[in-house]
Amino acid sequence: MGVESPFHIHINDLDARQKAKIKELRKRLEEDLKRYPEYDTDHSLLRWLIGWDYDIETIVPKAQWALSVFDNLGFNDYHVKSLDDIDEYALARSPAAPYFPGGLLGYDKDGDVLYCQPLSKADPRSLMKADSVAQAYRLELAMIEGAFKLVRRQEAKTGRKCGMKIIMDLEGFSYSEHVYLPSVSEYQKVLALVQQVFPEFLRKLYVVNPPTAMAAVYNIVKPVLAKQTREKIEILGSDWKEVLVNACGAENLYQQWGGVKPAATPYGNVRLGGKVPEKVMYSPQSNPFDDEGRMKSVNIAARGKAEFRFQADKGDTIRWLFRVSSGDVDFSIKHKEKEVYPTFRISTEFVPEFGSMVCRKTGEYVLLFENLHGKLWSKDVTYRVEVQETKECSAL
């Protein structure tokens, strides 16, 4: 491998090998980049090369899948001009969004996007009852891709490669209260997904106010952290405010984290989570599509799958709702062998999975429930899927 590209490298300082690899990767991804054209920048492609050791054969299918996720989730129509746009996007899509603690602070002194997550402000037990698992995935991807959109604009102006710095504040963390196994499992899946579609975007992760059980907490997430991610984690001691100010600039931090950035409260615009109110939690009565009398069921064998094929016209809407008897299944929708709704690993212990998708093309669609990762146990799925046509609704 050649010389590693550091953060903030200028596009004019790339060496000949890096330029050649970027050109090769762009050529291999030519059709995929047409699906999500704003990703077609030298620095965006360089991230994939660095993240996967310049191994083009390994990178291509992974990058193709990431680009299809962005396209299929409608991020081409997700326009971000400011930090407020990112929050507004999330808040408009889930009543539970205000209870996911965190927020973007802006840019730091190096031009990186700065994100703060006071994780211990979350109430994991009530969050698990608030919205579907896939919605949490979509919101997390939207937040990071929103930040990435701002970074790409910054890179276009400056020519310098930038990324994201995260401050994870664990003040008040309680192992018994916050290490709730169902939420830990979903958090691990989110971390794995984010690393899969955003390689080499993390610049640094600062952990402040670590609990006495920090080693045990770290061991929970360590198995899903890539080596490059682990190398960017820094657990800070009692001088953490001084370290953050030196690394990020006092003018870019709210008072709670040692800065002087103007705000009405010490936390600024960072969401503080809290317990989700009962009225926000999911209930079947709040969703007319959640009708037990119209549900069907299918048993999916271990290492098996179930698929449903149906015709739909451009402009039709596919709607779904399902529950898994135990564990989780992989759910996706395809059109002519290409994913049009990305594969997410879904559990429904607390909230059924539900959603909808407008068909972009006429033709045969395949809805997939997969249990390929299940080595021993079959799983029962109760489901309702309908195609909303122009004049009527046809059930599958």
- Residue 395 predicted with pLDDT over 60: no
Residue partners of 27: CB distance under 8 A and separation at least 6? none
Instruction: Report yes or no: 386 and 294 within 8 Å, Cβ to Cβ.
Output: no
Whether the per-residue pLDDT at 24 is higher than 90: the answer is yes
User: What does the CA dihedral 37, 335, 288, 294 come to, rounded to 10 degrees?
Assistant: -170
Residue 247 identity: A
pLDDT score, position 6? 65
Distance (Å, whole) CA 54 – CA 2: 9
Distance CA 184, CA 180 (A): 6
Distance CA 157, CA 308 (A): 47
* 115-120 average pLDDT score: 94
Q: What is the pLDDT at residue 3?
A: 38
Taking each helix axis from N to C end, the angle separating 181-197 and 133-158, rounded to the nearest 10 degrees, works out to 30
3-state secondary structure 144-201: HHHHHHHHHHHHHHHCECCCEEEEEECCCCCHHHHCCHHHHHHHHHHHHHHHHHCCCC
- Reported as a single tens digit per residue, the pLDDT across 183-219 is 999 999 999 999 999 999 999 999 999 999 899 889 9
pLDDT of residue 393: 46
Tell me the longest C-alpha to C-alpha distance in the chain.
65
What's the confidence (pLDDT) of residue 8? 85
